[in-house]
Amino acid sequence: MKKRVIAGIVAGIVLVSAGTFAAVYQPPHKTDEIYKAAMQDFKDGNYQNAYYLFSKISLFSNLKPIAIYHRGECAKMLGDDKSELRQYQILFNNYPKHKLSIRTRYLAGQKLVKDKPQLAKKYFEYIIHNAPESDYAIASEYYLGLILKNKYRNAKIFPTSVKDDIQNCFRHYLKSAPSGVLALNVVDNWLEIPGDISKDDYLLMANSLYIYGEYEKAEELIKKVDLTESWALDVKNSFAMKNFQRAKYLTENGLEKRSNYVAEDDILQAIDIYIQLSESKTKSVDRLLSVANGKGRDYLLSLRCQNLPQKDKESCYTNLYMKYPNGRFAADALSNIFFLKIKAKDYTSAEKIGMDHLNKYPDSLSAPKVMFWLGKIAERLNNYDEYTNYYKNVIDKYPDTYYAYRAYLRLTHIQTPLLTSYINPKPVLYPYKYTRNNIIVKLVDLQDYDVVNELVGDDDFIKSWVLYKKGDYSHSMLVARDAMEKISDKPDKYDLRWRLVYPVIYYDEIKKYADETGNNPPLMLALTREESYFDPLAQSAAGASGLMQLMPSTATEINNKFKLGMLIPSSLFNPDMNIKLGNYYYEFLRTNLEGYDISSVAAYNGGIGSIKNWKTTLHYNDTDEFVEQIPYSETQNYVKKVFRSYWNYIRIYNGND
């Protein structure tokens, strides 16, 4: 006990002697004021004053270790290496369990690599042992290899065992973080090691070089690897270097002779590049199918099935499913067979196939579709209890999907696709319940965003919230969307995390122009979300610009037709003007498509001419059948995404289940 007391006294003395002169007690509001002022000084470049103010944070405040960390940052900006290192050491020695402890030990190790490599090595080994799953552990592997390499830099003999240890460190980094911030350093240092490098290791390095856009260097290393293992990467690198002929040749040759030696995802990327380089998607798929012998063939069959006339689809999907029942496209193939049986009014077979699908692929993307259509079969057969149960299950199990929205319409007997034009916008909040002393909430209030990201670890919803608070709405939604997709049992609609996935942005402007044109405001909100994720500077490869992704030619036509006051094409990046033009364009589509919102949303993506053609050539009994048969997969998916967003905005901000 006595030893612990002495240790505590010593720790306190260390903190005080380091310049952290703070009151023994400080009212929390005073601490927050000092911290906020220090943060503002840091942002303004007044690092000396910020360094002083951070020292005044009370020893008893949970902000104290963070203030010490910031003192290290201030010292770094002032070029005071000694003080920077000292602050980091104070933090991890006196607060070893704090989440910033690992980061400061890593930063200290970085500073010591050259002058005190053995102490740096000690720090990096500590990180690997105590935080093995962290990014800092991966980066520490690189530095351990670098320290060992530097030790033998001028040695006459480079021991094989040492070389192996260095390569193991570098290899582990590139395998774990091929796009990591140190990846190019790893490659440069690895290539300096004398002796042979394996072909697998050259491929690892080439992959990182490709990721970082170092295409010529990647090409040099790819040449050192057997084509059997490098061809898919070579396709991507050749495409990036605009050597299109080589990219196409390698894809054909690889699918014919070498597909089993390459990861499936890489093969699919090579196929997509080949199709992108071809004039005809149908002919390019057929060409690759004629040579493909292994991985990737099921993907090609899936693409072929999508492009076939309706009468030939069932046999195609059946062939795909029978050959690859455990492949990644099997669930989608079976769901298409199921729907085609419904179209043929073979409800008995469809029901059997649908049940088989739900049993085999309950977590697939096509499961909600199958469950919904099983409900429609039961409804057509007047099995009230059965179809009610199916629709309710879709809403319960897949609450945020397009098919939950369609199931709700069936249950409530709403004939139009629009549930309401009203939502009650609510602010995005911290996504979890919290106490008043929650350090994360406090730091965000103090706008100390970078430290928040260090403290939250792997919680992507908090990371999304921080991005939202910083005004990076697009990135915030992407992070929250991906995090929600990973949750198999979705939270109820009142869960605050949903607001991060579906935030209400620019709604005053959207509602103003939606009301002006007679459009549905929540639907326009949903369409804007899907078009740009609320990034006013978004621009597609084709040139569509702004929040509602309008082509300049379309915008000019709508501007002239309705005299909306757009002066120059760059006005499309102005949120107000873009939303105005987008609403008038949508109203134009809706007027010319007899007021049908499903058709208008489809036309916003696929063009009004295509929609008019499909409405006369497709055979369908209702809206659901029409959407499922839209020939362009991009447009079909677009319609489902927009109305999925519309449904989620209504249920999150209006109260519908």
Residue whose structure tokens are 């002083």: 52
Centroid of chain to Cα 354: 31
33 catalytic, yes or no? no
Question: Is residue 623 scored above 90 in pLDDT?
Answer: yes
For residue range 316-336, what is the model confidence (pLDDT) as tens digits?
A: 999 999 999 999 999 999 999
pLDDT at position 435, please? 59
CA distances to 231, 515, 544, 552, 572 from 559, rounded to whole Å, are: 49, 18, 15, 10, 11
pLDDT at position 2, please? 40
Per DSSP, the three-state class of 426 is coil
> And the tokens for 373?
């259509």
pLDDT at position 210, please? 98
Question: Is residue 430 scored above 70 in pLDDT?
Answer: yes
Question: Is residue 49 scored above 60 in pLDDT?
Answer: yes
The predicted model gives 492-513 an average pLDDT of: 97
Tell me which amino acid residue 79 is: G
> And the tokens for 607?
């063009």
405 Cβ contact partners less than 8 Å away, ≥ 6 residues apart:
643, 644, 646, 647
Question: Is residue 653 within a helix (H) or strand (E), and if so which, with residue range?
Answer: helix 633-654
Query: Could you give the residue ranges of the DSSP H alpha helices within 56-159?
Result: 64-77, 81-94, 100-112, 117-130, 135-151
Q: State how far the Cα of 351 lies from the Cα of 362, in Å rounded to an integer.
A: 15
pLDDT at position 28, please? 87
DSSP per residue, 148-193: HHHHTTT-S---HHHHHHHHHHHHHHHHH-TTSTTHHHHHHHHHTS
CA distances to 116, 178, 205, 371, 439 from 460, rounded to whole Å, are: 36, 21, 29, 30, 17
Per DSSP, the three-state class of 539 is strand
Calculate the average pLDDT of the chain. Answer: 93
When pLDDT is cut at 50, 70 and 90, the band that residue 360 belongs to is: very high
Question: Is residue 657 scored above 50 in pLDDT?
Answer: no
Q: State how far the Cα of 117 lies from the Cα of 124, in Å rounded to an integer.
A: 10
> And the tokens for 145?
């290899």
For residue range 185-239, what is the model confidence (pLDDT) as tens digits?
A: 999 999 999 888 999 999 999 999 999 999 999 999 999 999 999 999 999 999 9
Q: State how far the Cα of 138 lies from the Cα of 303, in Å rounded to an integer.
A: 39
Sign of the alpha-carbon dihedral angle for 484, 489, 494, 495: negative
Catalytic residue among 73, 141, 214, 531: 531
Whether the model pTM is above 0.85: yes
Per DSSP, the three-state class of 17 is helix
Tell me which amino acid residue 623 is: T
Question: Is residue 492 scored above 50 in pLDDT?
Answer: yes
Burial (CB < 10 A; 0-12, 13-18, 19+), residue 145, is buried
For residue range 513-564, what is the model confidence (pLDDT) as tens digits?
A: 999 999 999 999 999 999 999 999 999 988 999 999 999 999 999 999 999 9
Going along the chain from its start, the domains and CATH numbers come out as 2-192 (1.25.40.10), 196-307 (1.25.40), 439-501 (no CATH), 507-654 (1.10.530.10)
**Cβ pair 259, 296 in contact under 8 A:** yes
pLDDT at position 195, please? 84
Question: Is residue 655 scored above 80 in pLDDT?
Answer: no
DSSP per residue, 197-233: --HHHHHHHHHHHHHTT-HHHHHHHHTTS-HHHHHHH
Burial (CB < 10 A; 0-12, 13-18, 19+), residue 29, is exposed
For residue range 242-268, what is the model confidence (pLDDT) as tens digits?
A: 999 999 999 999 999 999 889 999 999
pLDDT at position 22, please? 46
